[in-house]
Amino acid sequence: MSAPFFKFGLFGAEFSLVMAFAIGIGFGFFLERAGFGSARKLTAQFYFKDLAVFKVMFTAIVTALLGLFYLSWAGVVDLSLVYFGPTWLLPQIAGGLMLGVGFVIGGYCPGTSMVALATGKVDAVFFVLGVTAGIFVFGEAYPAIQGLVNATPMGEITLPQLFGLRYGVVVFLVVLMALAGFWGAGAWERRLARRAGEV
Amino acid sequence: MASVLPSAVLDAAAVPIPRVAARREAAPYLNPYLAGVGLGLVLLAAFVIMGRGLGASGAFSTFISWAVASVAPAHAKGNEFYQGYLQSGGSHPLKDWLIFELLGVLVGGFVSGVLAGRVRKTVEKGPRISTRSRLLLAFSGGTLMGFGAKLARGCTSGQALSGGALLSVGSWAFMLMVFAGGYGAAWFVRRQWQ
């Protein structure tokens, strides 16, 4: 058991910023490779024209999920030392809805807007200014909406705990769901391609 | 909205972009499953090396809290939200993990874009909407997203990707709602994209 490296003191706070920059480069690189610096590519997901957002997101989740699961099973990573955010169900549902609506209106999410900015998208500049304004409004409103922000706390709860299933079983179910989703996405895209060929 | 974005700014941004002749053809995007594996391995590296996932909106929050504290220190002191991002154990608040990570995202995105011939000044929009309207919608959508991300305690990076891979209940509820919100609102803004 020697990971997470930072938590085991393999390097200090200063070097963790170097790691942050390096990890960020990888993150931005693959977002751009996937085409996520383009708002048209991203929003096409919501019109069923291009399902890359779904495919990339769930492949990434499954990759990291399986990697963590095996590394923790093999005793390499101590999962209890990986930061796990607590759940506040109601504000997370409301925030998720706002984010989804904002996504299809604005064309990006905060991470992808940075990649769009870096590749010359003028609309991303306005989007980033909007995100900044939105967070400022939230900050100013915080004292008034604290009740909603901190409503329905559920603590650090996982899906296996919620459903009373073993961790490995839920990992397996998530992978199965993702594979079914990928198969469905492929079938849908083949149909679209056939239809486009007929016109 | 007009007071936030003076029309001079919008007009300047709406100036047509001159086409440069004989520009290199942009390379096709990477296969989504390969890109997903790449992204997943970066996320796994963050978990294994740092013991934390990826993020984006948190860096914005730190920056805004620092800006508010610089302009109105007393005001920021009385606000729990800003305070949460200003406690940095004596070091400068901007010496923050997520801020350095997000600077990396800018660099990584730019490098990938240059290698693929995809860096060019454009406005992303469908053919049926003016540049000016698109920029207003980009700002409005961003505002909604900034507020929503703080309400949910994270965005697509911190909640959906990172929390999703950790099987967090709140992150999965959040993720489903992002898709629900996107599909629910898509019809109303279809002219912007299709």
Contact predicate B35/A33, CB 8 Å: yes
Helix (H, G, I), strand (E, B) or coil at A62: helix
pLDDT tens-digit readout, B114-136: 999 999 999 999 999 999 999 99
B88-92: average pLDDT: 82
Q: Where are the alpha helices (DSSP H) in chain B?
A: 7-13, 32-50, 57-71, 73-77, 80-86, 97-115, 131-151, 164-165, 169-186, 190-193
pLDDT score, position B2: 46
Q: How far apart are CA B102 and CA B70, in angstroms?
A: 21
Residue B20 has pLDDT above 60, yes or no: no
Contacts of B110 in chain A (CB under 8 A): 28, 118-119
Contact predicate B81/A138, CB 8 Å: yes
Nearest neighbour of B155 by CB, restricted to A101, A109, A154: A109
Burial of residue A181 (CB within 10 Å: 0-12, 13-18, 19+) is middle
pLDDT tens-digit readout, A67-80: 999 999 999 999 99
Q: How far apart are CA A42 and CA A190, in angstroms?
A: 19
Model pTM score: 0.93
Nearest to A22 by CA among B116, B111, B36, B153: B111
Residue A1 has pLDDT above 80, yes or no: no
Contacts of A81 in chain B (CB under 8 A): 51
pLDDT score, position A182: 98
Residue B4 has pLDDT above 60, yes or no: no
The rounded percent of chain B whose pLDDT value lies above 70 is: 88
A89-103: average pLDDT: 98
Nearest neighbour of B139 by CB, restricted to A22, A63, A126: A126
pLDDT score, position A5: 94
A27 to B175: CB separation less than 8 angstroms, yes or no:
no
Residue B3 has pLDDT above 70, yes or no: no
Contacts of A45 in chain B (CB under 8 A): 182
Q: Residue with structure tokens 């504000």?
A: A91
Give the B window 56-95 contacts with A, CB below 8 Å.
Answer: 56-57, 60-61, 63-65, 68, 79-82, 91, 95
Residue A83 has pLDDT above 90, yes or no: yes
B181 to A96: CB separation less than 8 angstroms, yes or no:
yes
Q: How far apart are CA A72 and CA A1, in angstroms?
A: 9
Residue B19 has pLDDT above 70, yes or no: no
Residue B52 has pLDDT above 60, yes or no: yes
ipTM summary value: 0.96
Contact predicate B105/A28, CB 8 Å: yes
Pairing of strands A153-155, A87-88: antiparallel
A85 to B159: CB separation less than 8 angstroms, yes or no:
yes
The chain-wide mean pLDDT, for chain B, equals 91
pLDDT tens-digit readout, A130-169: 999 999 999 999 999 999 999 999 999 999 999 999 999 9
pLDDT score, position B22: 46
Q: Residue with structure tokens 């959906």?
A: B160
Contact predicate B47/A79, CB 8 Å: no
pLDDT score, position B21: 45
Q: How far apart are CA B40 and CA B171, in angstroms?
A: 16
Mutate to test the interface with A, among B52, B70, B115 (most CBs of A within 10 A): B52
Q: Where are the alpha helices (DSSP H) in chain A?
A: 13-33, 39-43, 52-73, 89-106, 110-118, 122-149, 159-163, 167-198
Contacts of A189 in chain B (CB under 8 A): none
Helix (H, G, I), strand (E, B) or coil at B155: coil
The chain-wide mean pLDDT, for chain A, equals 96
Q: What is the DSSP letter of B30?
A: P
pLDDT score, position B87: 87
pLDDT score, position B73: 95
